Amino acid sequence: MSNIGTGGAPAGAPRAEYRTPLKIARGLGSAKSGVGHWWAQRVTAILLVLLVPWLIGVLVSLIGLDLDSARHVIARPWNAIPLAAFVIAAFWHAKLGMQVVIEDYVHTRWVEITLQLLVTFACVLAALASLYALGHIALLAPTTLS
């Protein structure tokens, strides 16, 4: 990346640099957030590639179970903890994806901002509600079964 800091000028040419050293060091570019969105989408995607097949297996295994049995399955630590990880990764990934869809197709500024806020709030709320439900099930179900 020899062009960084040279303003795109060929090597050896006089420097025409308008960015401050701090701006260059942060490396966030004109989009202001750099490649943060891209990376977060990939990192959550890799986590979801690992978790989704497992989740499908768990959900299929719950079919036909009564309330207490279903709670008992979810309350197991090796189900409750990956489920918590899944919920966080899934709603994070969904928020990032919906953000791009809205950016691409909604061109009325106030509608776009409103939708972005609604998606963000809804995803955070749903993730927190899911974690609350998981905590409730994980901490209370074993005592009701014993």
- The answer to whether residues 74 and 141 touch, using CB atoms and an 8 Å cutoff, is yes
| Residue among 28, 31, 35, 56 that touches other proteins (CB under 8 A) | 56
Nearer to other proteins, 19 or 136 (CB): 136
Q: Which stretch binds other proteins (CB under 8 A): 14-22, 27-35, 94-102, 110-118?
A: 94-102
> Is position 67 an interface residue for other proteins (rule: CB under 8 A)?
yes
> Is position 106 an interface residue for other proteins (rule: CB under 8 A)?
no
| Residue among 19, 23, 37, 42 that touches other proteins (CB under 8 A) | 42
| Residue among 33, 61, 69, 120 that touches other proteins (CB under 8 A) | 61
> Is position 126 an interface residue for other proteins (rule: CB under 8 A)?
yes
User: Each residue of 65-98: b (16+ CB within 10 Å) or e?
Assistant: eeeeebbbbbbeeebbebbbebbbbbbbbbbbeb
* Residue 44 burial by Cβ neighbours in a 10 Å radius (0-12, 13-18, 19+): buried
> Is position 60 an interface residue for other proteins (rule: CB under 8 A)?
yes
100: Cβ contacts below 8 Å, ≥ 6 apart: 37
Half-sphere exposure of 5 (CA within 13 A, CB side): 8
Radius of gyration of the chain (CA): 23
Please give the residue ranges that form the binding site for other proteins (CB under 8 A). Answer: 42, 45-46, 48-49, 52-53, 56, 60-61, 63-64, 67, 70-71, 74, 87, 90-91, 94, 97-98, 101, 107, 122, 126-127, 129-130, 132-134, 136-137
